[in-house]
Chains A and B, each alone.
Chain A
């Protein structure tokens, strides 16, 4: 962490104090957290995202659907497939494109690759050091080399999967409206299939390791939102459901939610139309759709006995992420076993004007895209709502609720706990600006 400043003990009444952490490390991008404390109580928690706005919604105007798919993948180096998937499904839904079932399976396989590399990176290199008492993965590697090596091996399996299907592991280029520009021969998947055997075993060990971590005591009943599908753990298809009974078609996100601009941040935040705060991501997905987990992942989750803790204590999102990591590795293996190369990589399609909208489940949560398509088939306007900007208000709510419990702790300890909470969301600031310095200040 950088730039921590402290004027007085935060819990001392009647005294002004200031708590400032320059940057939250081990998150993606740049932003700050300001906590305003009065008489030992947090009266305001504000995440200020100051990474420059990225204007992707304007960059895609005037572009064709296939160009949009390549452009939006550049929003994020860790979840480019999520951006491609929300976009391609939005266009296909509008254009009435029916894709080959094997293409659909390949897209799930590609999404598995993204979840594997993203979750492995976050669990092992970004979040585990918090739980094991290390300032970084580098320091952790000196004492727990085998842990870091295991994480890197799982991550590599995900990267290889993306490379085989997407043409390259960062910003893949094969997704096209109607299918793929190229699909692999079954033999091309054999090597990655072998690495997935090892990744499944390593992911089982990941669940066991993470379930044995000590997490801070904390409980908050969050409003949970995720995609849900009757038979599949949600990636590309399903309906938008919530812990309070919402059930929406996947293209109707904006019937229940809206983006709002909050002063001091370059990212739009999202709320329900009633102003409600909600939580997306692994914990929400596990809580709402655990019934569709791969049997191996469901069994591993059941053995931990921690499903309720995942739902109510955001620090246990690392366990939710580990269960999903296992799910993605196991499902990827099954998908490869059932793969039959489609006759053609993509089906022909014709653009039609209208509203193209879809949501898919990025590693960090639901990612909604909406495009207006004009008579010529070009994008006329766009709305991209990433999971981190939707989770930003939930992060602030969790910080407001949790911070009082650490304000009497030594400054360094309190800072670590607050950063750990923020990292529990695996926030992607770069995605959201299209977001961290932590600062606590206050007066009596």
Chain B
């Protein structure tokens, strides 16, 4: 069997804050159905809130898929972005940091790239969320978007893991 490239799947969000748990729910449903050879190359990390250290700890040869719920797109809609494109997209959107003294995703990716000496390779897959209230489960709109979210995550895992797809 052709050896595959390692991929780290970073699953962001919290299950007890409404649609913020979408990535956890999607990955929980996705992993059991993945073929064994693909699963063998995936290292799953759960991460409530992404920090730059999560990117700095990535081995150089490892691709990265970050999955999370997002705002700014329609609830239930799915978006896939190359990590390298996010800093530029953030700047064009004029995004200012909003929470937790944490650097925004684009700045985290830029800082990690500067410190690592090369770009962080991989993808971000997000699903639009509507409600992030405390003690709630996923909303109906996001639940209905989970199949597409899972499919998008799986597609990125395969693209990054399989040598026939030298995209990373």
If A74-B134, A149-B115, A170-B49 touch, whether A28 touches B99 (CB-CB below 8 Å) is yes
| Given the contacts A152-B53, A156-B53, A170-B49, A28 and B110 also touching, CB distance less than 8 Å | no
Q: How far, in whole Å, are A293 and B103 apart by their CA atoms in the complex?
A: 31
Q: Give residues 13-41 of A contacting B (CB, 8 Å).
A: 23, 25-26, 28-30
How far is B75's CA from A178's CA once the two chains are assembled, in angstroms? 41
Known contacts A2-B94, A170-B49; is-contact A430 B99 (Cβ 8 Å): yes
Is the CB of B79 closer than 8 A to any CB of chain A?
A: no
A155–B56 alpha-carbon span in the complex (Å)? 13
Closest to B49 in A: A170
- Given contacts A25-B96, A141-B115, A171-B48, A118 and B53 within 8 Å (CB-CB): no
B168 lies within 8 A of chain A by Cβ: no
Of A2, A78, A149, which is within 8 A of B101 by CB?
A: A78
A77 touching B115 in the complex, CB below 8 Å, given contacts A25-B96, A152-B56: no
A332 CB-CB contact with B under 8 Å = no
Choose among B14, B96, B102, B103 the residue that contacts A2 (Cβ–Cβ < 8 A). B96
Task: Tell me how far the C-beta of B58 lies from the nearest C-beta in chain A, rounded to whole angstroms.
Answer: 14
Residue-wise, chain A 65-91 has the 8 Å CB interface mask toward B (1 for contact) of: 000000100101110000000000000
- Chain B residues near A256 (CB, 8 Å)? none
Closest Cβ neighbor of B48 among chain A residues = A170
In terms of DSSP, what is the predominant structure of the interface of chain B? loop
| Interface bits A134-153 vs B (CB < 8 Å: 1, else 0) | 00111001100100110010
A28/B101 in contact, CB under 8 A: yes
Given contacts A59-B134, A171-B48, A77 and B101 within 8 Å (CB-CB): yes
Distance between Cα atoms of A156 and B51 in the complex (Å): 10
Cβ-defined partner of A71 (8 Å) among B14, B96, B101, B134: B134
Residues of A within 8 A of B103 (CB): 125, 137
The DSSP consensus for interface residues of chain A is helix
Q: A428–B49 Cα gap in the complex (Å)?
A: 18
B interface residues, how many (CB within 8 angstroms): 22
B111 touches A137 (CB 8 A): yes
Give B94 Cβ to nearest chain A Cβ, in Å: 6
Name the B residues within 8 Å of A74 (CB-CB). Answer: 134
Contact with A along B11-38 (1 / 0, CB 8 A): 0001000000000000000000000000
Given the known interface contacts A138-B111, A152-B56, the answer about A25 and B101 at a Cβ–Cβ threshold of 8 Å is: no
State whether B49 touches A23 (Cβ < 8 A).
no
Tell me if B2 is interfacial: C-beta within 8 Å of chain A: no
Chain A residues whose CB sits within 8 angstroms of the CB of B77 once the complex forms: none
Q: Report which of B52, B94, B96, B102 forms a contact with A77, defined as CB distance below 8 A.
A: B102
Complex CA distance for A136 and B134, rounded to whole angstroms: 33
Q: Which of chain B's residues 90-142 have a Cβ closer than 8 Å to chain A?
A: 94, 96-103, 107, 110-111, 114-115, 134
Contact A28 B97 (CB under 8 A): yes
Q: Are A141 and B114 in contact (CB under 8 A)?
A: yes
Contacting A138 at CB < 8 Å: which of B94, B96, B98, B114? B114
Cβ–Cβ contact A152 & B52, under 8 A: yes
B81 to chain A, nearest CB (A): 19
The closest CB in chain A to the CB of B53 belongs to A156
Given A145-B114, A152-B56, the answer on whether A430 and B48 have CB atoms closer than 8 Å is: no
Asked if A108 is an interface residue, CB under 8 A from chain B, the answer is no
CA distance A138 to B103 in the complex (A): 10
Which A167-181 residues have a C-beta within 8 angstroms of B?
168-171
What would 30 A/B residue contacts be, using CB atoms closer than 8 Å? A25-B97, A26-B97, A28-B99, A28-B100, A29-B98, A29-B99, A30-B96, A59-B134, A71-B134, A76-B100, A77-B99, A77-B101, A77-B102, A78-B101, A78-B102, A121-B101, A122-B101, A126-B101, A137-B103, A138-B107, A138-B114, A145-B114, A145-B115, A149-B115, A159-B51, A168-B48, A169-B48, A170-B48, A171-B14, A428-B101
Report, nearest first, the 10 A-B pairs whose CB atoms are least far apart.
Answer: A77-B100, A78-B101, A141-B114, A170-B48, A23-B96, A28-B101, A138-B110, A170-B49, A138-B111, A142-B114
Chain A interface residues toward B at CB < 8 A: 2, 23, 25-26, 28-30, 59, 71, 74, 76-78, 118, 121-122, 125-126, 136-138, 141-142, 145, 148-149, 152, 155-156, 159, 168-171, 428, 430
Spell out B's residues near A (CB within 8 Å). Answer: 14, 48-49, 51-53, 56, 94, 96-103, 107, 110-111, 114-115, 134
